[in-house]
Amino acid sequence: MTYGMTELMALTKSRSWAHHGNPVVEWCFDAVEVRHPPGDADQLRPDKPDRAAVGRRIDAVPTAAMAVTRWRELAQKHARSGRMVVR
């Protein structure tokens, strides 16, 4: 999850990524905090607030991080092959 979270944070900070006004995504991203697990400063993970206290969800954030990871993997794969894929 670290690679995807790092890439997602970089895309967000550079304003190269947008959720196109999706209210659920906006709601999830507003609720998330990015943390380092105890004892491992190199890893990043999305951290959810106490659901009982605030009733917020972060489901869209890990999903977006996994999608960014796959997107980057496919881009590298196709760059190495020299082929262009149009879908």
C-beta separation of 76 from 3 below 8 A: no
C-beta separation of 46 from 31 below 8 A: no
C-beta separation of 32 from 48 below 8 A: yes
pTM: 0.74
Query: Mind listing the pLDDT tens digit for each residue in 4-42?
Result: 999 988 888 898 887 788 899 889 988 888 888 888 888
As a whole number of angstroms, the distance between CA 43 and CA 15 comes to 23
Q: Residue 57 is encoded by which pair of tokens?
A: 């969800």
Query: Mind listing the pLDDT tens digit for each residue in 35-84?
Result: 888 888 888 888 887 777 777 889 899 999 999 999 888 888 877 766 65
